[in-house]
Structure 1
Amino acid sequence: MDNFIAARSQMALSLGFHIIFSCIGMVMPFFMAVSHFIYLKTGNTLYKNITRAWSKGVAIFFATGAVSGTVLSFELGLLWPAFMEKAGPIFGMPFSLEGTAFFIEAIALGFYLYGWDKFNKWFVWATGVVVGISGLLSGILVVAANAWMNNPKGFDFINGEYINIDPIKAMFNDAWFSQALHMCIAAFAATGFAVAGVHAFMVYRKKNIRFHAAAFKIAATFAAVAAILQPLSGDISAKNVARLQPAKLAAMEAVLKTEAAAPLIIGGIPDTATGQVNYAIRLPGLLSFMAYGDMHHPVKGYDQIPKEEQPPVMVTHFSFQIMVALGIFMLLIAVLYLIIILKKKSWQNKTWLLRLFMLATPMGFIAVEAGWTVTEVGRQPWIIYGIMKTRDAVTPMPGIPYTFYLFTAVYISLSAIVVFMLYRQIKMVGKLYDNSDNEALTFSHDLH
């Protein structure tokens, strides 16, 4: 493994772990705030117990997200020094603002975790909301920096020099809104299905049914709304990619030959040697319409992209197909769940519904990982799209493969610790809040 592949692998590993921690850290505070609000309005201690249990999960993911995010910050400078030398003064503003949002989040979380019974109850609730808002802002700011890599703005590139730098224009580039919207909704969908799936499993096992059923409803509602909104944000994002990064669109959709009335390709195995996509389902003209609003609009293919600028089509296309397939599956579950809570309330306690959510538990995060693979691999060979190639930005320092092996061990260990802590937290919830024996008999009898 050479330095270049090792550096890319290390960044991929770090991002792959961090994105899960950060998504949960962004979204869980909103679940917590809703549960807390219900408790404050009704006085029902069940929701107080849910809130306190979720707040411990938020603390765990805040700590792990902080650690993995700090590692990423160092890796940018250590692995890609040429990139940071040129790009740092241009897109550094969202990173500095993200640091501010992180500190606000940390302070608010401290008030929230230790302020119960010490401060005004609504003040404590408000600090929990601040945790969620500041975490969401942190995610948006980081995505804005990534969007700049896909659509570099806010400077003039003349004779190899970066001049006339405008950090505001760089941060609010043409790609930031669509990427941030898509990522935020994806975080809500992924976290919602994961949390709902865990609680559905506990209800299915008839463990603390009343507690887990109430928690399930909050998480499942967030998941359903986000899953229904996600295709809309995906459409906005795809149209933006078609306008700004036609090579990425070609890789996503496996458009190997430029053609008018380009078909939407479902599945298939791209073969760049023959220019064919084998075993695919083709829907004529639909890609042209979805990308440009015109059934006959030509879509640029690999035959019009210089070979040295073509992104890896196999990885990008398969990742995109996985993301879309899982998104559609979660959308179907979301529509079904909303129909149930609005029209078929008697189905809420059915075993098959719990099994559906249990099946969907990892799907949101698999889709998120696939989506980020599309974003990063689909931009290759560029680290700054159209300006600096990734290979030109890597560090000349030797021994990067060894740091990759080291960081792999660190992240695997960190993940094992997180899983252990969450498992222990779930068991503790069972011991502290198990009041289901008498209060949930009716609910239990409905499970069949």
Structure 2
Amino acid sequence: MFPLLAEPAGLLPAREQMALSLGWHIILAAFGVAFPAIIFVVHRRGLRGDAVALRLAKRWSKVAAVLFAIGAVSGTVLSFEMGLLWPGLMGRFGDVLGLPFAFEGLSFFTEAIFLGIYLYGWDRLPARLHLWCLLPMMAAGVFGSYCVIAVNAWMNMPTGFALTSSGKVTDVHPWHAMFNGRAFLQFAHMWLGAYMLVGFVVAAVYAAGRLRGRDDAHHRLGLAVPLRFASVAAILQPVVGHILGMALGDIQPSKLAAFELATTTEQPAPLRIGGLLINGRAEGYLEIPKWGSFIARGSFSKPVRGLDTFSPDDLPPVNTTHVAFQSMVGIGTLLAVAVVVYWALRWRGRDLAERRWAQRCLVAAGPLAVVALESGWVATEVGRQPWTVFGVLRTVDAAGDNPGLWWVFSGVAVVYLGMTVGAWVVLRSMARRWRTGEEELPSPYGPAPEEVHR
């Protein structure tokens, strides 16, 4: 461990910029992971004779291209930020973390290449070969995401190196760091979260269209396919999350105490729903006896260590961590119960997707899935504080001492705002022109298609 230092001038702007960048980019990363698989399903259906599905795949591929383009910008910004904002991390542990970052870069280029081939391949490549172009995209998106999650998992449970008495990093094993003990479960949690987000967001778009009277085959299929992906992910997610969380008591007990709002060690510990830590006391929560131990430790008798057993300097921001964690769990549980009810009634012959109130619920499910994913990342990252590398490197030691980072943060915020507005304008324009039958989407300022082919 390293001694606490006064906060460097670059710490706050680094935190603010990293929060903005990660929170913004994670949505695009989720589309990179899940959207190609959803497109693959409708494209494959289209090759079997469904013209609506084939047209849907073609439209979605263009949406994927727009999202990938802005995701490439935000991902590039993030790659520079790691060294710029956190020199104490990358300067010391660059040899440990270099391998997954290198693989993530290769995955990005692979995905970009095959996305370009897939977009160009419409009406040019043989049908089956064109469909198969989605497979490398899917694989690259999954592997690239795993590499990033592996770095984050390593920060939660560092391995693959040794420290000398002077704090120098030696005996580096980058493969051990990349395939650390938390990486696979944490990736599975994020992978399912990506399918939940993309599935519910895309379904919400088409549910909104049906509410506005566009109740045609295109909107029905556009709702049904992503909803199936989201349903499977929503049902599996609580299981994976529970398995992932049961190890926190041994790996990151301070984070678990903040999650559970456990002010003192209790055995068995109750489940506290809601509430805040006010003047050192938990207030305003609903308590369910014993269930805190079961959910956190997998047993009705195991203790949950209290916040009072840690040094105040080693505690995360408790209220932020607790609220983010409970928001993630609450929304995830709500969505899981909703899809179980939906498919149970569907099995009995009642399709709730035909009811307007259910369509409104589906519209709400999209933003809720986004909030759940963002809340999960807040709980993970804020709950690890005050450590960048848990138990090894404090965040104050990872940051630089450059107050000029506020200018960098301001510039990044402007860039992200511009990309958000630009993406919204482009996607809305594409949707409007599709509704008028302009499938090829000619340039609004170029010659008409019939003039090009003369």
Is the pair's TM-score, using the shorter chain for normalization, greater than 0.5? yes
* Distance in 2 separating the partners of 1:433 and 1:354: 27
Counterpart for residue 83 of structure 1 = 89
- The answer to whether 1:16 aligns with 2:48 is no
- Say which is worse superposed, 381-390 or 171-180, in terms of deviation: 171-180
2:134 to 124, 128, 139: 128
Q: Among the aligned pairs, what percent are the same residue?
A: 38
- The answer to whether 1:304 aligns with 2:295 is no
Counterpart for residue 446 of structure 1 = none
Corresponding letter in the other structure for 2:184? F
| Aligned-residue offset at 1:433 | 7.4
| Aligned-residue offset at 1:96 | 0.8
Task: State the Cα RMSD in Å.
Answer: 1.5
2:283 to 262, 274, 278: 278
* Distance in 2 separating the partners of 1:429 and 1:244: 51
* Per-residue Cα deviation, 1:288-310 (whole angstroms, up to 9, x for no partner): 12222322212111111111111
* Distance in 1 separating the partners of 2:347 and 2:90: 51
* Distance in 1 separating the partners of 2:246 and 2:355: 40
Contact in 1 for aligned 2:342/2:352 (Cα 8 Å): no
What is the SS of the residue equivalent to 1:21? helix
- The answer to whether 1:423 aligns with 2:428 is yes
Counterpart for residue 389 of structure 1 = 394
Equivalent residues, number: 431
- The answer to whether 1:324 aligns with 2:326 is no
Corresponding letter in the other structure for 2:214? K
Counterpart for residue 370 of structure 2 = 365
What is the SS of the residue equivalent to 2:354? coil
- The answer to whether 1:167 aligns with 2:189 is no
* Per-residue Cα deviation, 1:214-246 (whole angstroms, up to 9, x for no partner): 110001111111111110111012113223111
* Distance in 2 separating the partners of 1:185 and 1:40: 27
Contact in 2 for aligned 1:267/1:280 (Cα 8 Å): yes
Aligned structure 1 segments of 4 or more residues deviating by more than 3 angstroms: 345-348
* Distance in 2 separating the partners of 1:433 and 1:233: 43
* Distance in 1 separating the partners of 2:215 and 2:144: 35
Corresponding letter in the other structure for 1:129? L
| Aligned-residue offset at 1:138 | 1.1
Contact in 2 for aligned 1:253/1:265 (Cα 8 Å): yes
| Aligned-residue offset at 1:252 | 1.2
- The answer to whether 1:61 aligns with 2:67 is yes
* Distance in 1 separating the partners of 2:386 and 2:298: 29
Contact in 1 for aligned 2:9/2:402 (Cα 8 Å): no
Contact in 2 for aligned 1:108/1:127 (Cα 8 Å): yes
Counterpart for residue 445 of structure 2 = none
* Distance in 2 separating the partners of 1:334 and 1:109: 31
| TM-score, structure 1 as length reference | 0.93
| Aligned-residue offset at 1:346 | 4.6
Corresponding letter in the other structure for 1:217? A
* Per-residue Cα deviation, 1:243-271 (whole angstroms, up to 9, x for no partner): 31111111111111112101111001113
Contact in 2 for aligned 1:247/1:310 (Cα 8 Å): yes
Counterpart for residue 149 of structure 2 = 143
* Distance in 1 separating the partners of 2:109 and 2:379: 31
* Distance in 2 separating the partners of 1:40 and 1:298: 56
* Per-residue Cα deviation, 1:165-204 (whole angstroms, up to 9, x for no partner): 1111111112111210100100100111111000000011
- Say which is worse superposed, 206-215 or 58-67, in terms of deviation: 206-215
Per the alignment, do residues 264 and 346 of structure 1 end up closer, same or farther by CA in structure 2, a change over 3 Å counting? closer
Contact in 2 for aligned 1:341/1:348 (Cα 8 Å): no
* Per-residue Cα deviation, 1:24-82 (whole angstroms, up to 9, x for no partner): 122111111000010112x1211111001100111011111111011001011111112
Contact in 1 for aligned 2:277/2:318 (Cα 8 Å): yes
Contact in 2 for aligned 1:91/1:171 (Cα 8 Å): yes
Contact in 2 for aligned 1:224/1:337 (Cα 8 Å): no
* Distance in 2 separating the partners of 1:214 and 1:411: 32
Per the alignment, do residues 208 and 424 of structure 1 end up closer, same or farther by CA in structure 2, a change over 3 Å counting? farther
Contact in 1 for aligned 2:267/2:304 (Cα 8 Å): yes
Unaligned runs of 5+ in 2: 1-7, 440-454
* Distance in 1 separating the partners of 2:13 and 2:351: 54
Unaligned runs of 5+ in 1: 435-448
1:216 to 219, 223, 227: 223
* Distance in 2 separating the partners of 1:39 and 1:294: 49
| Aligned-residue offset at 1:332 | 2.1
* Distance in 2 separating the partners of 1:97 and 1:286: 41
Counterpart for residue 437 of structure 1 = none
What is the SS of the residue equivalent to 2:284? strand
Corresponding letter in the other structure for 2:272? I
What is the SS of the residue equivalent to 1:362? helix
